[in-house]
Structure 1
Amino acid sequence: MIRHLVLFKLNDGVKRDDPQVVAGAKAFQELAGKIPELEFWECAWNITDRPIAYDFAINSAVADEGALKRYIEHPAHQAAAGQWRGFATWVIADYPF
């Protein structure tokens, strides 16, 4: 199994209640059940407010590197991630467990 973690940081001046941010969060929340490669899926807003904190997180798992590649290339994932490019930056970590 591979854990796929993503942490998003909203760009300066962008707020969580901005309509594009709300739509972006909803797009990720709706990925659950849409992409067969996802063995585990959760995403949520960070509840802490610290200078080093990121704003939104995805914690997911896939079976192997092939499944990770198919997930990343899936049109629903590409559409959701594409929304976030306009208002956030992110970091990822993929590791076996």
Structure 2
Amino acid sequence: MIRHLVLFKLNEGVQRDDPRVVEGVRAFQALGDQIDELRFWECAWNISDRPIAYDFAINSAVDDAAALGRYIEHPKHQAGVALWREFATWVIADYEI
């Protein structure tokens, strides 16, 4: 199994209540029910206010590298990524569990 973690940092001046952000969060929240490859899915706002903290996180799992590839290329995932690209940057870690 592969754990897929993503941490998002909102761009300077972008707030959580920005309509683009609200739409992006909604899109990612729905992915757990829309992509069969996902074995585990959760996403939420970070509650830490430390200066080095990121703003939003995705914690998910898929069966293997092939499933991860299908998830990454899935049209619903790509649509969500396109939304987030407008107002945030992110870092990713994928590791075997």
SS state of the match for residue 70, structure 1?
helix
Deviation at 1:32, TM superposition (A): 1.3
For residue 42 of structure 1, what is the aligned residue in structure 2? 42
CA–CA distance in structure 2, aligned partners of residues 46 and 66 of structure 1? 29
- The one-letter amino acid of 2:26's match is K
CA-to-aligned-CA distance 1:41-74 (integer Å, 9 cap, x gap): 0000001101100000000000000000000000
For residue 82 of structure 1, what is the aligned residue in structure 2? 82
For residue 65 of structure 1, what is the aligned residue in structure 2? 65
Report whether the alignment pairs 1:26 with 2:2: no
Aligned positions, number? 97
CA–CA distance in structure 2, aligned partners of residues 70 and 10 of structure 1? 26
SS state of the match for residue 25, structure 1?
helix
- The one-letter amino acid of 2:79's match is A
- The one-letter amino acid of 1:62's match is V
Deviating 4+ runs (over 2 angstroms): none
Deviation at 1:28, TM superposition (A): 0.1
For residue 53 of structure 2, what is the aligned residue in structure 1? 53
Deviation at 1:33, TM superposition (A): 1.3
Q: TM-score, normalised by structure 2?
A: 0.99
- The one-letter amino acid of 2:51's match is P
- The one-letter amino acid of 1:65's match is A
Deviation at 1:35, TM superposition (A): 0.3
CA–CA distance in structure 1, aligned partners of residues 30 and 63 of structure 2? 20
What are structure 2's unaligned runs of at least 5 residues? Answer: none
